Amino acid sequence: MLIYKIFRRPEWEAFRDAGETDGAPVDLADGYIHISTAAQVAETAAKHFADQSDLVLVALDDAALGPDLRWEPSRGGALFPHLYRPLRMADVVWDKSLPLGAAGHIFPEGVI
């Protein structure tokens, strides 16, 4: 199953250039990388990136992330994927721009 991480453009560029990342400041503070399922990602974008337009959506294969991916309760008790290791470019299935439209973020076809 594909799961998703949203990056601000500078975070994405730093990740791409370095080949791996420990995540955004919130990820570093919490000790794991926050990821969302297709059913969760639109709410994640609206809640944490509401006014931000220069974002990158990254798709990851949950099975390929191995045992360092844990499903833990979060928003509303729903299970969210959390990655307890650096995210590597080799983990990325695809990346696409996530622009902000008049009614919210515009997700690539087939994501939500």
CA distances from 35 to 21, 84, 99 (A): 13, 11, 19
Copy the structure tokens of residue 72.
């833990």
Domain 2-105 belongs in CATH node 3.30.365.10: no
Q: What's the pLDDT score for residue 101?
A: 92
Burial of 4 (0-12, 13-18, 19+ CB in 10 A): buried
pTM value > 0.85: yes
pLDDT tens digit string along 24-59?
Answer: 999 999 999 999 999 999 999 999 999 999 999 999
pLDDT tens digit string along 64-81?
Answer: 999 999 999 987 889 999
User: Does residue 6 sit in helix, strand or coil?
Assistant: strand
Average pLDDT over residues 18-22: 98
**Domain-wise residue ranges, the chain:** 2-105
